[in-house]
Amino acid sequence: MSMLLEVNGVSVTFDGFRAINNLSINFAPAELRAIIGPNGAGKTTFMDIVTGKTKPDEGSVVWGEKNISLLGLSESQIARVGIGRKFQKPTVFEAQSVRQNLAMALKTPRGPLAVLMHKKTKKNAERIEAVAEQIGLYDSMTSTAGALSHGQKQWLEIGMLLAQQPRLMLVDEPAAGMTPDEREKTTNILKAAAKTTAVVVVEHDMDFVRRLDCKVTVLHEGAVLAEGSLDYVTSNQTVIDVYLGRAHA
């Protein structure tokens, strides 16, 4: 099976600190993957490299069937080839309705005129409704985003990513600050998305990772320490020593 994203031998150093150290990691076209690891393991820097925010000192980052190098592309070009990122803190347009937030995120021609012209098409309306249904906000379409709960704002932002129809979604700590019910629903949203899209979840919360029930990659000191099911990686003595022992201390 061909890979959607291949990161090979990537290293990056900031002020003498090696944040990513000969990292190699691959993702299939539709899979759910969790990335865990202690603070400073390189999780955020990995996402920064894939989205073009940080350029590595060495290595390759290859995308899609045409084997495009992402290293020569800008952040906006990388977003256009189909890589979306959700940061830890939701960034929704608080004064706009849920429907308007989703409409602004749709994969349509950019520019003020294009937005005005395309917003009302039937296809776009159907797409917005489908995404709202998927994230459980169909009944809140006319509510302003600012009136939503923390969990609902997180779902709206995941919905804004889904509306862009990315082929890879990078999601940073989606369960942070959520109630147990909200976390359960977030799990279901991400699992459903991963049927058609590669979804990579960077997470600290082991209970949430267990709910995702997917392949787990453990990063440590900027490299892959272990990879496999959660049970497999959490029974790995090295992982216990460098991460779990510390996490539970």
Q: What domains sit in the chain, N to C, each tagged with a CATH number?
A: 5-92+165-248 (3.40.50.300)
Q: Look up the pTM and report it.
A: 0.90
At position 213, the amino acid (one-letter code) is D
40-44, 86-90, 167-171: lowest mean pLDDT where? 86-90
Let me know if 71 is exposed, middle or buried by CB neighbors in 10 A (0-12, 13-18, 19+). middle
φ, ψ dihedrals at 75, nearest 5°:
-60, -40
Look at the block and give the residue holding tokens 């995308």.
63
> What is the Cα–Cα distance from 145 to 105, expressed in whole angstroms?
14
Q: What is the mean pLDDT of residues 99-124?
A: 72
Kindly state the tokens that stand for 20: 């990513």
Both tokens assigned to 22: 């000969």
3-class secondary-structure state, position 221: coil
Task: Return phi, psi of residue 216, to 5°.
Answer: -120, 135
Q: pLDDT value at position 58?
A: 96
* Sequence-separated (6 or more) residues with CB below 8 Å from residue 22: 9, 10, 11, 59, 222, 223
pLDDT of 150 over the 50 cut: yes
